A and B are shown apart, each in its own frame.
Chain A
């Protein structure tokens, strides 16, 4: 009851504020995050769904903590993509956090999986690596961290669905060559370090063929234990 009253009071109050604001700011851009990230959307899509460029990743629905870590890394130049390094250079932490939360909160549908250009055998090898890993070569299953539905886990582990093969293999390559790093201990560097070029092709191709799961939301923090520690996923 109290909450209700409070809520309706809040609504009235908000409306009043909005009215005044609208009158005053007729000649101002909308006071929304959507208007503030218009610099990002030509590359990432209006709701962060991605664009036709296979190297431009989807942002929508990934854990906010993960997106924030990436924005910090682009701002400092630790993760390199000059057009983004440049845009973020003089933006403060709370603003980057707000951007991360904005894209994390958008839920446009996942794209149709793309038909794969690789053979059935390669896809099967990719599936094996992703779901079981290869203990003989110290490769953990990707699902052991990215989750059984590959939807990721709050706050720091991204889902791997809705990404194109080209993007995934570029990222794994970047970890292998040390041009992408994450907070230490950088578990993805360990994982990528054990993959061969053929593994990368296979696992990237298989991931890109996955249909959207029923629930693409990242699992809550602590839903499952990781096989080893990741700096981006505090426990």
Chain B
């Protein structure tokens, strides 16, 4: 009797454990999928793999490059047109080595040069998430690349110059937080894809990582993340950096253009710990100030005329939001005094800001951002050059004046 009872009890116990184990593995799978979704956000896969008004991750988004137009792939689990037949190994090979399952070479517009740093476990989680989303039957559009760039063998040359395969290696001399930030920024965040000088081959070299560059085709300047004269965050507080990354606005400045997209699609979804880790790392990689920018090429008399016209334009059109002393009403109306983002050697961004205006991205932390009107239709090239010259040099700002020709050239810059 006693033994019977204990057997029943045992059996019951076994049953419960089995059920629990099943529950557990189910909840494990769910955890992994949720983690994968989070990591896919951190990697901003949707920015490229979802077309406007298109289905999630069904691809087909056009990516203009100097060599022609690429169309992104369908990465939903559809077996015929997506990656439904891929194994976790196949997927890791793409992320880590930039190769298709059959070994074919992938164009570096897919940021595998950064994703190579992603761990196997994180790659598997993203894979599990992508298996769990709705499959979409949509054939990939063939790329439209000019000769000779349509030959994938050319990618080999690019890889030799710019691609170093390998998972992220933590720096034992730094804190765990710094290393987590580095892993996210250098890996999934693929920040270097924009924030590095881009050479004619469309690559970024390791030694120039995070040194800033003009994004081809878009005509936006992605500032250096290491120089405090650009977007180096050495003298920012951690709170200002996390505010900027998470909400798109901060007491020091705001994001706009392509960076607004990064915050909108990706960074706003990162949790507080990861955001803080990125901030700690970004603050840590800022170098001492680089040498002052080259002196202006404009003659002095012309410059002083420009600046006095600039002040008139500023007081009339800008001071209501940015303040007579460039103090703004931060975070919503950003300060222009002591704002690195307008003092940089490249004046592309402030000129475009004045031409096109803008809204910071709507985020959980800032769902109804304030906006700036475009002035392209209101001000002449000369007035644009004047007001930009003024804000770059007034209130102790250390930028240089710009010419009407520079302003004129950016009128035709693409808006999306």
Contacts and interface: CB of A to CB of B under 8 A. Distances in A.
15 contacts: A27-B329, A29-B333, A36-B368, A38-B371, A38-B372, A39-B371, A42-B373, A83-B357, A85-B415, A85-B416, A87-B357, A87-B371, A90-B260, A90-B361, A94-B367
A179 interface: no
A35 B370 contact: yes
B368 A29 contact: no
A42 B357 CA distance: 11
Contacts of A82: 415-416
A28 B251 CA distance: 11
A122 interface: no
A39 B373 contact: yes
A28 B328 CA distance: 9
A43 to B, nearest CB: 8
A86 interface: yes
Given A83-B415, A86-B356, A87-B357, A39 B362 contact: no
Contact of B359 (A43, A83, A90, A94): A90
Interface in B362-388: 362, 367-374, 376-378
Contact of B358 (A27, A28, A87, A95): A87
User: Chain B interface mostly helix, strand, loop or mixed?
Assistant: loop
Sort A-B residue pairs by CB-CB distance and give the 8 closest, nearest first.
Answer: A39-B371, A90-B361, A82-B415, A90-B264, A86-B415, A92-B362, A76-B53, A42-B373
Given A28-B332, A77-B416, A91 B376 contact: no
A27 B261 CA distance: 28
Interface in A70-109: 76-78, 82-83, 85-92, 94-95, 98
B155 interface: no
A41 interface: yes
A40 interface: yes
Given A29-B321, A42-B378, A90 B261 contact: yes
Interface of B: 52-53, 260-261, 264, 321, 329, 332-333, 356-362, 367-374, 376-378, 415-416
A37 interface: yes
B53 A83 contact: no
Contacts of B356: 83, 86
Contacts of A28: 329, 332
A41 B373 contact: yes
Given A36-B368, A38-B373, A83-B374, 18 more contacts: A29-B329, A29-B332, A29-B370, A36-B371, A38-B321, A39-B359, A39-B370, A41-B373, A42-B373, A42-B378, A43-B373, A43-B377, A76-B52, A83-B356, A83-B415, A90-B260, A91-B359, A95-B367
B378 A37 contact: no
A79 to B, nearest CB: 11
B162 to A, nearest CB: 30
Contacts of B360: 90
B249 to A, nearest CB: 12
Nearest to B255: A90
Give the size category of A's interface with B: 20 to 34
Interface string A46-58: 0000000000000
A134 to B, nearest CB: 35
A149 to B, nearest CB: 33
Contacts of A36: 368-371
Given A27-B329, A87-B359, A78 B371 contact: no
Nearest to B248: A90
A91 B362 contact: yes
A38 B358 CA distance: 11
Contacts of A94: 367
A95 B362 contact: yes
Given A39-B359, A42-B378, A82-B415, A98 B332 contact: no
Interface string A190-231: 000000000000000000000000000000000000000000
Given A78-B53, A85-B416, A87-B358, A40 B329 contact: no
A28 B333 CA distance: 8
Contacts of A43: 373, 377
Contacts of A88: 359
Contacts of A91: 359, 361-362, 369
B211 to A, nearest CB: 27
Contact of B370 (A38, A42, A83, A89): A38
A43 B333 CA distance: 20
Contacts of B261: 89-90
Given A77-B52, A86-B415, A39 B372 contact: yes
Contacts of A78: 52-53
